[in-house]
Structure 1
Amino acid sequence: MRKLINTPFSEDENKNQGVVHTSKRHESAERQVQGSANYVDDIVEPQGTLYAAVGLSQCAKGTINSINLNAVRESEGVVDVVTIEDVPGHKDIGPVFEGDPLLANGEVKFFGQPVFAVLATSVTLARQAALKGEINVTEVAPVLSADEAHRQQTFVRPLHKFGQHSERVDDAFANATHHASGSLSIGGQEHMYLEGQVSLAIPDEEDRMKIYTSSQHPSEVQKLVAEVLDVKLHRVMVDMRRMGGGFGGKETQAAQWACIAALLAHRNNCAVKLRLPRFTDMHVTGKRHPFENSFDIAFDSTGKINATRMTINGICGHSPDLSDAIVDRAMFHADNGYFLGDSDITGHRLQTNMVSHTAYRGFGGPQGMIMAEAMMDKIARAIGSDPLSVRKRNLYGPTTGTTTPYGMEIEHNLLPEMIGELEESAHYWQRREAISAFNRESPVIKKGIALTPVKFGISFTAKHLNQAGALVHIYTDGSIQVNHGGTEMGQGLHTKIGQIAANEFGVELDMIEVTATRTDKVPNTSPTAASSGTDLNGKAVQNACITLKARLSECFAKSLDQEAKAGDVQFSNGYVALGEHRIRFPELVQQAYFARVSLSSSGFYKTPKLQYNRDTGEGRPFFYFAYGVSMSEVSIDTLTGEYTVDKVNVIHDVGNSLNPAIDIGQIEGAFIQGMGWLTTEDLKWNENGKLISENMATYKIPAIGDTPKEFNVKLFGRKNAEDSIYHSKAVGEPPFMLAISVWCALKDAISSLSGYTIDPQLDTPATPERVLNAVAAIQQADSRGGGA
């Protein structure tokens, strides 16, 4: 595997000491390799800790007639058993809208829904006891598909539309030279975090509660625990040092287990740990939303789009959870990097009797973006053009348009330049010619290639979430402690935050300690999601540092009788300087302490420029866009449907990278995870609504052998035009969608069987079975003389 990393550049405005824009090791790397990094399950348990487990429903829908828990209570080691009736406060813990009872409340909504919880003296005894509950249910036929949800009109939230120009869309379709339509079933995805869902609740004096939880949203856990226990928020403290992966699966859905642990801890006045086994975790936690989408497009003879109609159907599961915003983001990204002409985009939020699907890296964006690429392929096959040429013709720009379907102007569009660079550096046209020649001579193995772009909006689409706080302490030896509202789930957030603080004070990175995320240090935090962790919290930390630097500068200038020049004080290389005067940073801190200068400050940041009117479907929901381009080459066996990803080239835009090594790692990891979503990760439910892809034997995530044989990643190296932290850009979610090039390359290889005249139907995940079926469909159509 070869990695291409741009040489980091510095900016004078940052006074860069080699701390930022430089590859630095992840702050926990050594501890993680050694096994000494503490996760929630590693915390030393207080004396008398007891263990919880949950009892699950065995049907997908119905009314609960009775719950007999006698055998559970009589089971060995059992101390307590609770149902929804034992909750003293709020019974519903829905994060935005109601619909998520802590435990089943009179009805069963999905197969495997927690109905009761048991507390016992060991993990094993608790789990064994949880199997003994008798739940009597009058079953009802569940809703398990998009078609059935539409037939029964079951929705978790109302539909939402972009585009208020139906007459213009109708006229454009009526006058267009060409029309095409298509549909795509898009599978969901299990988060498969290495560390499963786990919480430890420790009761404190009176009704206070400490919670240690593997959660992306400590403030929400604090709020929900307080509401369930019927206490004020200030009575609950949530601590989160690190997660073993989250990917969105711990944004809302970590709260339930913390609330159950807290309820049992409160009732029994003892510490309670609840850790879900993988099998249970997969049944009771939501996935990436499956989607059923369709489109109609009108275009001219060159393949340029005149008008678009699109219907997006998010399969949400039994409750709203975050589905409203997730389907919105799918709609926001249905254009990807292309001008869709006059457009009409409708999004449905379908209610089904499945676990409530939730946030997952990209948050609906991938399920929308893939539709744009499906349209480009459909047009290319229809007019006999290369798909890359069609993509380039439809990019946002002066010859097409620069306004998105939701009314946001595209500024600072990097895609034309990035596509041109990858097209040339990875030799697209030479490889296209070589692949076409190979396919003509190879009867069984067929190759495919695709170059696809990514345009991903950065910001929470819920405006109020675009804020962050921080707390920075300087101690008298010059060491600095930083606390902020973001959570570390392996993505390197704490490392980047440490770099930012070190750079601001001009000290070495080892002078900075970034502590666990705690609700008693920084309140009312937003979730670490939407790729916003560094953007929001980095700015908040920087603002706290600026306040402290102003105090130190004033102190130093005053000691030199040059108070008027406090604004000229510089922090660099471990020193503080004013003109020819220099002092070591720790010495100035000591001096400030004796001068009674406060050495602690909070910081705050809110993202500017955001405004979006959901009623009209227009506005600016994003601060900026992150861009990327990827080229993938694949080989398929037309006799078995098996395939390999042979070569991948990526150029990705992270602005002025804070830490190139971490950003490269995020890009590589996101690409492989995206490849898994599109190729191997196949969620299956049986006719009763039970998840049957419920373990690592029946659900295949990518393994090391699935890594492309050649994998080249390059950072684009263009600073963000917007005023983000040091002009960097978010990196968590955008590169996930680079993997769409793999799916398009598979389609390209299959299409070669028809001389590139038929656009194959290839739903995702594109398993070998689906590839083989698509090959057979092409061959059958070809034998009949069929076309696209």
Structure 2
Amino acid sequence: MNHPGASDIKAMAWTAVGLGKPHESAALHVLGQATYTDDIPELRGTLHAALGLSSKPHANITAMDLDAVRAAPGVVAVYTAQDIPGTNDCGPIIHDDPILSAGKVEYVGQPIFIVVADTHDNARRAARRASVTYEELPAILTPQAAKAAQSYVLPPMRLQRGDYQAAFEQAPRTVKGTLYVGGQEQFYLEGQIAYAIPQEQNGMQVLCSTQHPSEMQHVVAHALGVHSHNVQVECRRMGGGFGGKESQSALWCAAAAIAAKKSGRPVKLRADRDDDMLVTGKRHCFYYEYEVGYGDDGKIIAAKVDMVSRAGYSADLSGPVATRAVCHFDNTYYLSDVDIRAACGKTNTQSNTAFRGFGGPQGAIAIEYIIDEIARDLGQDAYDIRRLNFYGKDERNVTPYGQVIVDNVIAELTAELEQSSEYRARREAVAAYNATSPLLKKGLALTPLKFGIAFNVTHLNQAGALVHVYVDGSVLVNHGGTEMGQGINTKVLQVVAHELGLDMEHVRITATDTSKVANTSATAASTGADLNGKAAQDAARQIRERLAAYAVKLYGGDTAEVLFFDNKIHVNGHTVPFPELVQKAYLARVQLWSDGFYATPHLHWDPKTMNGHPFSYYAYGAAVSEVVVDTLTGEWKLLRADALYDAGQSLNPAIDIGQVEGAFIQGMGWLTTEQLWWNEGGKLMTHAPSTYKIPGVSDCPEDFRVRLFENRNVEDSIHRSKAVGEPPLLLPFSVFFAIRDAISSVGGHKVNPPLNAPATSEEILKAIAAVEAAVK
């Protein structure tokens, strides 16, 4: 029997992954030294752009007088759709999204011209001097109205399994109803911005804040009528994205590049917060009609849901969002006979787009609302009804779209949370409190999540990376993912350091750049670290193998026994500092850089039948929330939240816990305070921090307990970790249903409160009034 030597033991103990390391730019963020697009020094002759926006939701432009704009102080030029050299389109999938209106406007805030001036303020002031005459057309503003008019940006989709109608008719009990869940503004701290700089040989460099540099490259190339190789897009970091900079950054990049091309000078286009919110799309709001059959025990027998989203005036990413909503309606529950329908309502509002969760939260909240209804109808705890309907291990483990679930840990995870959160005892305590408190009512809820990880468009599940080892032993990494504060660069850095046996300070990551790694996918769908970590690992591993082979050539031994750890190479009894071996390898003409590539295996999807294996694996989680509601004012407070999340074998627990905390609060904002409101004229009135309420520090619970579930991904993900970007946004379902539980107590839990989201104070009071009326 071979016993490990001292080097083997040290190698097994050494690691650069799985450690709670700080964000690689944390110190720069705190000191205000992190460079964002607007911080980049401006070149001499830089112009500043602003967009002229439509004031009507649906109209033909009959006349447009821009003379006053051109005559405004500091103005250099004004450009309209006729000035675009190439294609007037920035749609990510379907080409129905013009950069500038060419005569017809379809929402209030749609760009119709670009003005460039010597300063940002002069450009914005000039844009407001335009005189535009409209011939107004009928406008559709809500998903309900879109459904009534059969107004859709794409054909409706449908997923069926079993015989829903027969199962529903045979069910002992049924429940029917409607639900409305509002949208959400991404509210990234750094607004949309692009800085376009003309280059030689018809080139254009675009420095911008985007989650998808390659798509920006394509859009700009098409708008300018040039090849992609003429366009370089670079993004060092974003001050937040949340999906709002996946496709929506295209308009700003294209507009800046068009102005730069026409003027021959660098052009910066930085959106004011109000303009940003008026122009850009948000999370899709959804309207649901549902009916479900279930047994006397609460087990679901048949489920039907008809979902309609507010897509806005163009398709954007509404199709994939609806697909993911369909594929997440089941959440953690086995549904044998289902009829799931989804439609993307064409409305005269901003074209809605990706938002953290990408339709998954909108799909899953519907089944959670239904289970909440079933539990109250049966007089049981909703958590018990949830457990009864969970997916099984070896049976009841196939999703409605045909994917077999092989990594199910939801029963174990929720059982652990039930114990650690003292759920049962607190349920009794809440009931006792409510019995003696006529005005303040407490509510408690435990909700689970299952979230599929992968782009639901198969070809997007790929990534590339470059790893360079310099002669002094330092390492430079470039990959196709983008950093928006979520820590992708930190995780990729850890992966490369681990692969080469180095401490993290020996590795540096540079800005995402289309001239370095080509044809990248968006940093979205929670795949950033999964894809780019694997690609960087592949590149680093090739270099390590070359160095190992060279070390054996120098010192003898077997390449399989060469160890890389503690900034050294251990080979055949010799210990060589990493920089020393690198220098020798360079002199021996060993290649010290490599490219890496990764494509997620086993994925397939048929959009016609809506069947396949769209996800690489599932992330799981659960949360318990306790709230108190003032029944006179509708005000409420989150008293305590316990969250348990399955991050697999975490690459960086500190970053992952931070992501769970942030997602929880952001999702809570979506479901409680963040209300989007359009007036009758189609204008978004909640277009600034003064009218749109995101959660603040005071909204966070004083008692906030977040832990990672001990698990190991069954799939060969990067170091067996799991994604942590989007799934935790479903955890604050527990807040919404805790509020509903508190409202329900007003009527002795005999009535299902008709509570829509966001559960603002007004909505809470409406639901309380409905409960009181029903029990009289």
TM-score by length of 1: 0.96
C-alpha distance in structure 1 between counterparts of 2:560 and 2:328, whole Å? 44
Q: CA deviation at 1:246?
A: 0.3
Report the counterpart of residue 609 of structure 2 in structure 1: 616
Counterpart contact for 1:15–1:572, Cα < 8 Å = no
Report the counterpart of residue 378 of structure 1 in structure 2: 373
2:16 partner amino acid? V
C-alpha distance in structure 2 between counterparts of 1:509 and 1:454, whole Å? 34
1:713 pairs, out of 706, 712, 731, with 706
Which whole-Å deviations, capped at 9, do the CAs of 1:224-277 have from their partners, x for residues lacking one?
A: 111111111011111100000000000001111111111111111111100000
Q: CA deviation at 1:650?
A: 0.6
C-alpha distance in structure 1 between counterparts of 2:192 and 2:772, whole Å? 47
Aligned ranges for residues 248-259 of structure 1 at < 5 Å? Answer: 248-259=243-254
2:695 partner amino acid? P
Which whole-Å deviations, capped at 9, do the CAs of 1:526-554 have from their partners, x for residues lacking one?
A: 00000000000000000001111111111
2:410 pairs, out of 373, 392, 415, with 415
Which whole-Å deviations, capped at 9, do the CAs of 1:287-345 have from their partners, x for residues lacking one?
A: 10010012111100000001111111111000000000001111111111011220010
1:93 partner amino acid? C
Report the counterpart of residue 388 of structure 1 in structure 2: 383
C-alpha distance in structure 1 between counterparts of 2:429 and 2:521, whole Å? 50
Other structure's SS at 1:136 match: strand
Q: CA deviation at 1:148?
A: 1.9
Report the counterpart of residue 463 of structure 1 in structure 2: 458
Aligned ranges for residues 311-350 of structure 1 at < 5 Å? Answer: 311-350=306-345
Shift in CA distance, 398/758, structure 1 to aligned 2, threshold 3 Å: farther
Report the counterpart of residue 39 of structure 2 in structure 1: 42
Q: CA deviation at 1:560?
A: 2.2
Q: CA deviation at 1:147?
A: 2.5
Q: CA deviation at 1:151?
A: 2.5
Q: CA deviation at 1:206?
A: 2.7
Other structure's SS at 1:418 match: helix
Q: CA deviation at 1:568?
A: 2.1
1:66 pairs, out of 45, 58, 63, with 63
Q: CA deviation at 1:561?
A: 4.1
Report the counterpart of residue 7 of structure 1 in structure 2: none
Which whole-Å deviations, capped at 9, do the CAs of 1:466-488 have from their partners, x for residues lacking one?
A: 00000000000000000000000
Report the counterpart of residue 93 of structure 2 in structure 1: 96
Other structure's SS at 2:584 match: helix
Aligned length: 769
Report the counterpart of residue 737 of structure 1 in structure 2: 730
Counterpart contact for 2:147–2:308, Cα < 8 Å = no
1:586 and 2:583 are equivalent in the alignment? no
1:601 and 2:598 are equivalent in the alignment? no
C-alpha distance in structure 1 between counterparts of 2:531 and 2:169, whole Å? 46
Report the counterpart of residue 475 of structure 1 in structure 2: 470
2:491 pairs, out of 481, 489, 496, with 496
Aligned ranges for residues 558-573 of structure 1 at < 5 Å? Answer: 558-562=553-557, 565-573=558-566
Report the counterpart of residue 5 of structure 2 in structure 1: none
Other structure's SS at 1:191 match: coil
C-alpha distance in structure 1 between counterparts of 2:158 and 2:224, whole Å? 39
1:216 and 2:211 are equivalent in the alignment? yes
1:328 partner amino acid? T
Q: CA deviation at 1:617?
A: 1.3
Shift in CA distance, 510/524, structure 1 to aligned 2, threshold 3 Å: same
Report the counterpart of residue 152 of structure 1 in structure 2: 149
1:661 and 2:651 are equivalent in the alignment? no
Shift in CA distance, 18/768, structure 1 to aligned 2, threshold 3 Å: same
Shift in CA distance, 90/15, structure 1 to aligned 2, threshold 3 Å: farther
Counterpart contact for 1:103–1:115, Cα < 8 Å = yes
Shift in CA distance, 14/346, structure 1 to aligned 2, threshold 3 Å: farther
Shift in CA distance, 731/155, structure 1 to aligned 2, threshold 3 Å: same
- Identity of aligned pairs, percent? 48
Counterpart contact for 1:339–1:400, Cα < 8 Å = no
Q: CA deviation at 1:400?
A: 7.1
Report the counterpart of residue 3 of structure 2 in structure 1: none
2:767 partner amino acid? A
Report the counterpart of residue 289 of structure 1 in structure 2: 284
Aligned ranges for residues 160-559 of structure 1 at < 5 Å? Answer: 160-165=157-162, 168-397=163-392, 401-559=396-554
Report the counterpart of residue 4 of structure 2 in structure 1: none
1:748 pairs, out of 741, 744, 764, with 741
Q: CA deviation at 1:164?
A: 4.8
Moved more, 60-69 or 49-58: 60-69
Q: What RMSD, in angstroms, separates the aligned Cα atoms of the two structures? A: 1.3
C-alpha distance in structure 1 between counterparts of 2:93 and 2:55, whole Å? 27
Report the counterpart of residue 126 of structure 2 in structure 1: 129
C-alpha distance in structure 1 between counterparts of 2:485 and 2:658, whole Å? 11
Moved more, 400-409 or 519-528: 400-409
C-alpha distance in structure 1 between counterparts of 2:36 and 2:445, whole Å? 41
1:77 and 2:66 are equivalent in the alignment? no
Which whole-Å deviations, capped at 9, do the CAs of 1:612-637 have from their partners, x for residues lacking one?
A: 11111111100000000100000001
1:306 partner amino acid? I
C-alpha distance in structure 2 between counterparts of 1:712 and 1:259, whole Å? 44
Other structure's SS at 2:746 match: helix
Moved more, 515-524 or 66-75: 66-75
C-alpha distance in structure 1 between counterparts of 2:751 and 2:465, whole Å? 55
Which whole-Å deviations, capped at 9, do the CAs of 1:129-170 have from their partners, x for residues lacking one?
A: 1011112211012111223212222111111111154xx211
C-alpha distance in structure 2 between counterparts of 1:595 and 1:66, whole Å? 71
C-alpha distance in structure 2 between counterparts of 1:14 and 1:761, whole Å? 59
C-alpha distance in structure 1 between counterparts of 2:350 and 2:105, whole Å? 11
C-alpha distance in structure 2 between counterparts of 1:778 and 1:35, whole Å? 51
2:667 partner amino acid? G
Gaps of 5+ in 1: 1-10, 784-788
TM-score by length of 2: 0.98
2:772 pairs, out of 749, 770, 779, with 779
Other structure's SS at 1:148 match: helix
Other structure's SS at 2:731 match: helix
Other structure's SS at 2:732 match: helix
C-alpha distance in structure 2 between counterparts of 1:264 and 1:282, whole Å? 22
Report the counterpart of residue 632 of structure 1 in structure 2: 625
Report the counterpart of residue 3 of structure 1 in structure 2: none
Which whole-Å deviations, capped at 9, do the CAs of 1:746-781 have from their partners, x for residues lacking one?
A: 111111122212111110000011111111110110
C-alpha distance in structure 2 between counterparts of 1:467 and 1:84, whole Å? 35
Counterpart contact for 1:394–1:400, Cα < 8 Å = no
C-alpha distance in structure 2 between counterparts of 1:487 and 1:64, whole Å? 39
Other structure's SS at 2:520 match: coil
Which whole-Å deviations, capped at 9, do the CAs of 1:677-731 have from their partners, x for residues lacking one?
A: 0000000000010000111111100000000120000100211111000000000
Report the counterpart of residue 107 of structure 1 in structure 2: 104
Other structure's SS at 1:163 match: strand
Q: CA deviation at 1:579?
A: 2.9
Counterpart contact for 1:15–1:503, Cα < 8 Å = no
Q: CA deviation at 1:15?
A: 4.5
1:138 pairs, out of 132, 135, 142, with 135
C-alpha distance in structure 1 between counterparts of 2:275 and 2:294, whole Å? 49
Other structure's SS at 2:197 match: strand
Counterpart contact for 2:454–2:525, Cα < 8 Å = yes
C-alpha distance in structure 1 between counterparts of 2:407 and 2:261, whole Å? 54
Structure 1 segments (4+ residues) deviating >2 Å: 11-18
